[in-house]
Amino acid sequence: MRSELLYTTREGYEQDLIDELKLAHRGEGARLIAPSLVASPKEYVDCAFARQAMVAKTIVKADNALALDRAVTSALYELMREQPTKKWALHVWVPDSEEGNKFARVADVLAKTVPSQAGSIDAKWADRIVDSARIARDAGGLLAQVCVLGPTRAVVSAQSAVDAHSLHPGGRARMRVDNEAPSRAAMKLEEALDWFGAAPSRGDHCVDLGAAPGGWTHVLLARGAHVLAVDPGAMAPAIARHKNFEHIRGSAFEIEPEKPVDWLFCDMVWRPLEVAAMLAKWARRGWASMLVANIKLPMKQKADFVKRVLDTLRDGGWHRVRARQLYHDREEVTVCAHRK
């Protein structure tokens, strides 16, 4: 496994990730190594079904559980000593599976003890630890990852934080939304915007397709955007009363905006290729500048469908098209894109 890419995925989606890697690398190579963990000998791919990725540089095997933190810290020091002035963030995580989550406590302990061990190895190195991968990224620093495989085993890596697949430990981006959000779908949109790295600003015009009962619209209105919701279903009363809100009770396939909008959002429960064709039309006609869409994937061969959806969006004129099964996504992936 050494120096292979190690990807973690939602439990149950390992084969989808392997299929995606096969499509990307035109062949074999990727394999399951544990629930939620897939290894690949080929170069990194921004896979939709990967929550986090790391180059498995060093596999640490300690003699006993008490020795794991020192062994992990020494391994990280070796990996980072050629970049002595860089700030770094530490993520210690377990694969998100029934088996992996049994070692969550080991990961919690390591997350606390590795920084103190770092001080005993090299005080200056320990002083450069920052609180989050985002801070490390913005400072041009490193992300150190420790994937715990058991009480005495872990895989460690260090890479430029700007190249990280996810800025959340193990890709688990837990979002909170306020109690007034009419649905838990609001968390999916918060996570999508965090991943996209862009979000509507005050006064932006948004169309929200498949908006009822209004979790996504709630997030957008809270940011000061204007929202046109399209859904045959009813919106939550507090949303329906909002001054920046309008609702068309009809099908998304039948509407045309009066003028181009800044953002197109879509969370419709509908066939993915038909949704993709409709979203492609929005780009082709110049109706929206940015896209965030949640694509439902109830079928077995998910990787192939994701590829077809992305190809359809690109053919329509969407650029920088990406897909990710986010932490809050279930049988679905989130897609984001820019029109320019």
Ligand X SMILES: C[S@@+](CC[C@H](N)C(=O)[O-])C[C@H]1O[C@@H](n2cnc3c(N)ncnc32)[C@H](O)[C@@H]1O
Token pair, residue 301, equals 């061969």
Instruction: Find residue 294's DSSP bridge partners.
Output: 334
Q: At closest approach, how far in Å is the CB of 218 from ligand X?
A: 7
Report which residue's Cβ sits closest to ligand X: 215
- List binders of ligand X among 263-292 (CB under 6 A): 267-270
Measured from the CB atom, the residue of 118 and 181 that comes closer to ligand X is 181
Burial of residue 340 (CB within 10 Å: 0-12, 13-18, 19+) is exposed
If one asks whether residue 126 binds ligand X (CB under 6 A), the answer comes out as: no
Q: State which residue, 174 or 319, has the beta carbon closest to ligand X.
A: 174
**Residue 113, H or E segment:** helix 104-121
Site string for ligand X, 223-262 (x = CB under 6 A): -------xxxx-----------------xxx---------
How far apart are the C-alpha atoms of 254 and 275, rounded to whole Å?
12
Q: How far is the CB of 142 from ligand X (least distance, A)?
A: 36
The conformation of residue 66, written as its DSSP 8-state character, comes to: G
In whole angstroms, how close is the CB of 186 to ligand X at the nearest point?
6
Has 296 been annotated as catalytic? yes
Return the residue matching tokens 């394999």.
31
Q: How far is CA 238 from the centre of its chain?
A: 30
DSSP assigned state of 250: S
| CA-closest candidate to residue 181, choices 194, 173, 193, 190 | 190
List the x/- string, 175-214, binding to ligand X by CB under 6 A.
Answer: -------xx-xx----------------------xxxxxx
Nearest approach, Cβ of 331 to ligand X (angstroms)?
Answer: 12
Least Å from the CB of residue 230 to ligand X = 5
Q: Which is nearer to ligand X, 90 or 192 (CB)?
A: 192
Q: Point out the catalytic residue in the list 296, 300, 307, 340.
A: 296
- The helix or strand, by DSSP H or E, that contains position 38, with its residue range, turns out to be strand 37-40
Euclidean distance between CA atoms 134 and 141, whole angstroms: 9
Q: How far apart are CA 7 and CA 13, in angstroms?
A: 12
Minimum CB distance to ligand X smaller for 39 or for 309? 309
Residues with a catalytic annotation lie at: 296
Chain positions contacting ligand X, by CB under 6 A: 182-183, 185-186, 209-216, 230-233, 251-253, 267-270
